[in-house]
Chains A and B, each alone.
Chain A
């Protein structure tokens, strides 16, 4: 389910079936890294969108958790932990973070959710069918991870 009024209404009516959240993590940088940051956003957006289509009925795709790259790491982490805490309160037990920001690899141990780090593939010069093929193959590899996590908890 996406973060739209219709989908959220479906969620509210079928809460017992939805136990997974996908939260994209975006770092916003200024200056030299700006373009890289934009490329990462495009990639992660397409990827999470496609992932949502595969698992519409069991997960909610949250609006991205966005932070300024230069911000204090402790603050970013504690903000995200607040999200985590409120999700668990809503009976959402599986949390997946999807990001291209490598800094999260060091913070992963402090998070309860599963971190999926993917290097951003620059999509700007590709045509649509190439994009779809790449995203499709990436998502296929992630599907297994999701179903595995769900199986573990049963």
Chain B
């Protein structure tokens, strides 16, 4: 037994401070967590997904690049395969275009319309786009194709989330 006896009053005040401290912390912690939550949230556009396309193999002819990622739809998680048309423009810069037609969302293909070679073509309503993705006036689409942001890592192409671009 220690020499210093703890009085009943002291013992009660210690335990009450201790318990009270835990209770206060229990209330404050979630509040703080909620307050800083937007800061901790990952930037949604920041996810880059690896493709099998080697950057060195990209030419000035658009090629189809498929990439797969997991998508959560309510509680159902599924693998989604997206496609991009990738090529190098005249300046040697890589361009990755979304194949989704800006009209009603069909998949556009490169160079499949015999009458208009060297263009992206939508088979649904005969929409056409220039090689740079610019929609051709007089065809149904009203906006240019979306562009994927891209990154190069270990020689492979990584693609982000397709973004609509401003009217050129």
Report A's interface with B, CB cutoff 8 A.
10, 14, 17-18, 53-58, 128-129, 132, 143, 146-147
Contacts and interface: CB of A to CB of B under 8 A. Distances in A.
Contacts of A147: 123
Contacts of A55: 106-107, 123-124
A40 B125 CA distance: 31
A54 B104 contact: no
Nearest to A59: B124
Contact of B104 (A14, A53, A128, A132): A14
Nearest to A146: B123
Determine chain A's interface SS by DSSP, over half rule: helix
Interface of B: 66, 68, 79, 81, 100-101, 103-107, 122-125, 140
B70 to A, nearest CB: 11
Contacts, number: 44
Nearest to B104: A57
A152 to B, nearest CB: 14
B147 to A, nearest CB: 20
7 contacts: A10-B104, A17-B124, A18-B104, A54-B123, A56-B101, A57-B105, A132-B66
B125 A17 contact: yes
Given A17-B104, A132-B66, A143-B123, 20 more contacts: A17-B103, A17-B124, A17-B140, A18-B104, A53-B107, A54-B106, A54-B107, A55-B106, A55-B124, A56-B100, A56-B101, A56-B105, A57-B103, A57-B105, A57-B106, A58-B124, A58-B125, A128-B68, A128-B79, A147-B123
B107 A56 contact: yes
Name the 6 nearest CB pairs between A and B, nearest first: A57-B104, A58-B124, A56-B105, A57-B106, A57-B124, A54-B107
